[in-house]
A and B are shown apart, each in its own frame.
Chain A
Amino acid sequence: MTLQQFMNEAISPWMREDGPDSDIVLSSRIRLARNFSQYSFPILADESDLEHISSFIREEYEHQSFQDYQEFSFIPIQKLSPVERRVLVEKHLISPHLAEQDHSSAVLISKNEQVSIMVNEEDHLRLQLYYPGFQLTKALEKVFELDDWLEEKVNYAFDEKRGYLTGCPTNVGTGMRASVMMHLPALAWTQQINRMIPAINQLGLVVRGIYGEGSEAKGNVFQISNQITLGKSEEDIVEDLQSVAGQLIEQERKARNRIMEQSAKRLEDRIYRSYGILAYSRIIESKEAASCLSDVRLGIDLGVIENVSRSILNELMVLTQPGFLQQYAKKSLAPNERDVLRASLIRERIQLEN
């Protein structure tokens, strides 16, 4: 397989579409936690109950299509190798938690990979829907339709007072996590982001690195999401997130302009040095790769670098993760072997466009 083909598989088809403000917002995502009322939650359910849920979902929804998201494929997690599981996590199609399950669990993925429905994660169902760029309202509207479509056949655990009942008290109510993935290099360089995070937290929103809880922001990509799920409507939660993300977009643009005005040469130097590292290094660790990719992507956004397409950040952030590298090599690799392969993959990717 050529690198081009491999790359095409690494990137979910929906990611190739441009969305509003996609110079800064890489994607918008909404996830809903839902449970069947008649079964215990996955942490306590019998294997046979989990099996029931899994096969029910398979029978009802495999090969079904939901609107324009195309046909669903049903993938049992137990049948996947550790590397395959990891690849799904790196593509953000399943959560790290689902990848670790050894009980009966699965995922339904739409052909364009915009929709995935995790089965027997912490909750019986986790519906996840992505849109490119800044499109939270659209994503909310669509995830509601998906939810209604499922609810025709599933008896949801719902209580008038507490809303959608979930395994963890932190998800009860709407069961919703809405999030936006943002590339904020200028706010990160000027340290402004650190000063903004406490204020964002006070609004009931959380800022974290891209691979979920506890991970640092790799390549200046931050995920902003709601923390509160009870007592506020989904629309209000999305509106809050939308306005905070809108502020961040504005501040990021201002910071980029200011850097361009005040220290264009230094910025250009930094962007080209990072480009040089990506184009010529023979060994590169994932952290350095992510930070160089962030610089190059900013260079593209600012028109400093012209012969590389914008999708390079999204593509290589996924491609250079350990799971993908090992899938590409078709064998397991020690960390130092990965650093060598990562460097060569990046070099090849950059040459594809030169």
Chain B
Amino acid sequence: MECQECHQRPATLHFTQVINGDKTEVYVCEVCAKEKGYMTYPEEGYSLHHLLSGLFTSTNENQQNTARQQMSNLQCPQCEMTLSEFKRVGKFGCSQCYQTFEDYLDPIFRRVHSGNTTHHGKIPARKGGDMRIRKQVDAYRDELQRLIKNEAFEEAATVRDKIKELEKEIGGDEA
């Protein structure tokens, strides 16, 4: 069968179109299907919008209703973005949105960042002062465990002292 639009290429696709209640059968080639809008192709590249919509609609109907209710209530106090707007545009309105939509973010981040949900990188030098020290203390604690396991007690003592010193620094800041 030939394509009913271009009458050149063979019709490889078959659609049932319903216009004002009337059913029509459509036989077209792939090129015409795309050009005449019988088929919608996903936008090129990565569409966050689709991803987010998928996440919200993959639940069953009951859950969907509760989700919808929560969605209509949830709004960021700083920028006034609602959860449904966030879902539609796929972007945050402000840094406060991260707390507002916190309950919904893990699955999104997991998909976008290969399963990761928490930051393991740089910490701001000035603002993250204590945080930086705490991370360093955690790293030293891991090292301490390793040294004790390997019975390198002398080195372990040095690391322990470093931890004490850093902990004093955090305590001093708070006082």
Residues on A lying within 8 angstroms of B by beta carbon are: 35, 37, 39-41, 43-44, 122, 144, 147-148, 151-152, 155-170, 172-174, 176, 204, 213-214, 228-234
Q: Are B125 and A232 in contact (CB under 8 A)?
A: no
Which residues of the other chain, B, contact A157 by a CB distance below 8 angstroms? 94-95
The residue of chain B having its C-beta at the shortest distance from the C-beta of A228 within the complex is B113
Evaluate whether A214 and B121 lie within 8 angstroms (CB atoms) in the complex, with A155-B127, A231-B113 already known: no
**Cα–Cα, bound, A160→B130 (Å):** 11
Which residues of the other chain, B, contact A158 by a CB distance below 8 angstroms? 123-124, 127-128
**Most chain B CB neighbours (cut-off 10 Å) among A122, A148, A169, A173:** A169
**Cα–Cα, bound, A164→B120 (Å):** 11
Q: B31 on the interface (CB 8 Å rule)?
A: no
Evaluate whether A231 and B91 lie within 8 angstroms (CB atoms) in the complex, with A151-B127, A152-B126 already known: no
**Cα–Cα, bound, A77→B25 (Å):** 53
Number of A-B contacts (CB under 8 A): 122
Q: Are B113 and A39 in contact (CB under 8 A)?
A: no
**Cα–Cα, bound, A227→B78 (Å):** 29
**Cα–Cα, bound, A202→B118 (Å):** 20
Evaluate whether A163 and B119 lie within 8 angstroms (CB atoms) in the complex, with A158-B127, A213-B45 already known: yes
Q: Are A162 and B121 in contact (CB under 8 A)?
A: no
**Cα–Cα, bound, A214→B95 (Å):** 28
Interface size grouping (class) on chain B: 35 or more
Q: Are A231 and B95 in contact (CB under 8 A)?
A: no
Output the least CB separation between B14 and chain A (Å): 31
Which residues of the other chain, A, contact B95 by a CB distance below 8 angstroms? 35, 37, 41, 157, 159, 165
Out of A43, A122, A169, A214, name the residue touching B93 (CB < 8 Å). A43
**Cα–Cα, bound, A240→B109 (Å):** 20
Out of A43, A167, A231, A234, name the residue touching B118 (CB < 8 Å). A231
Output the least CB separation between B96 and chain A (Å): 9
**Cα–Cα, bound, A37→B90 (Å):** 20
Q: Are A163 and B121 in contact (CB under 8 A)?
A: yes
Output the least CB separation between B93 and chain A (Å): 4
Output the least CB separation between A318 and chain B (Å): 25
Evaluate whether A161 and B92 lie within 8 angstroms (CB atoms) in the complex, with A40-B79, A151-B124 already known: no
Interface of A is mostly: loop
Q: B10 on the interface (CB 8 Å rule)?
A: no
Which residues of the other chain, A, contact B126 by a CB distance below 8 angstroms? 151-152
Residues on B lying within 8 angstroms of A by beta carbon are: 44-46, 48, 78-81, 89-95, 98, 105, 108-109, 112-128, 131
Output the least CB separation between A272 and chain B (Å): 37
Output the least CB separation between B110 and chain A (Å): 9
**Cα–Cα, bound, A37→B105 (Å):** 19
The residue of chain B having its C-beta at the shortest distance from the C-beta of A165 within the complex is B95
**Cα–Cα, bound, A74→B72 (Å):** 42
Evaluate whether A44 and B94 lie within 8 angstroms (CB atoms) in the complex, with A162-B118, A231-B118, A231-B120 already known: yes
Out of A37, A44, A164, name the residue touching B81 (CB < 8 Å). A44
Output the least CB separation between B90 and chain A (Å): 7
Evaluate whether A231 and B124 lie within 8 angstroms (CB atoms) in the complex, with A43-B93, A168-B48, A213-B45 already known: no
Q: What 3 pairs across the A-B complex have the smallest Cβ distances?
A: A231-B116, A163-B119, A157-B95
The residue of chain A having its C-beta at the shortest distance from the C-beta of B113 within the complex is A230
**Cα–Cα, bound, A169→B117 (Å):** 11
Which residues of the other chain, B, contact A168 by a CB distance below 8 angstroms? 48, 90-92
The residue of chain A having its C-beta at the shortest distance from the C-beta of B93 within the complex is A44
Evaluate whether A231 and B92 lie within 8 angstroms (CB atoms) in the complex, with A155-B127, A156-B127, A169-B108 already known: no
Q: Are B117 and A231 in contact (CB under 8 A)?
A: yes
Q: Are A43 and B91 in contact (CB under 8 A)?
A: yes
- Interface contacts beyond A162-B118, A173-B113, A228-B116: sample of 13 additional A-B pairs, CB < 8 Å, sorted by A: A40-B93, A151-B126, A155-B127, A156-B127, A160-B131, A161-B119, A165-B98, A168-B90, A172-B109, A230-B116, A231-B114, A231-B116, A232-B116
Which residues of the other chain, B, contact A43 by a CB distance below 8 angstroms? 89, 91, 93
The residue of chain B having its C-beta at the shortest distance from the C-beta of A166 within the complex is B92
Which residues of the other chain, A, contact B78 by a CB distance below 8 angstroms? 40
Q: Are B93 and A234 in contact (CB under 8 A)?
A: no
